[in-house]
Structure 1
Amino acid sequence: MSVVLKELRETHSCLKIILRAQLYLKEELDLAIAIKENDELISIFVKSLETSRNRNK
């Protein structure tokens, strides 16, 4: 799971760069939705890792 979280964070950084540099040709709304979904996935995986670590103690 930690590998997935690392990849999600890297994707988040890339999406932000694309947004700020205006490299996306379609509407910004599509990119904003992708960033929001990525944030939600990061939150899910962070919580899952915390739960997993707490159960292993």
Structure 2
Amino acid sequence: MQSQEQRQYHAMRAHIAQLLASGWQIIGRQPLQLRHGRKTCQVRHGMLISDSML
């Protein structure tokens, strides 16, 4: 049997990997939350959401 890829939002995963490489940190996982300095954002329903401009 072939294993089937279960992951979704491949572009979002790549974007988050770029954020992590540029210094962002994961501060929560349910939902995924990221922080860089005073900026924070979270991933909800496949979208990266922030209270301010990133």
TM over 0.5: no
Structure having the higher helix fraction is: 1
Question: Normalising to structure 1: TM-score of the pair?
Answer: 0.33
Q: Which has the larger radius of gyration?
A: 1
Question: Normalising to structure 2: TM-score of the pair?
Answer: 0.34
Greater RCO, 1 or 2 (C-alpha within 8 Å, sep 6+): 1
Structure having the higher strand fraction is: 2
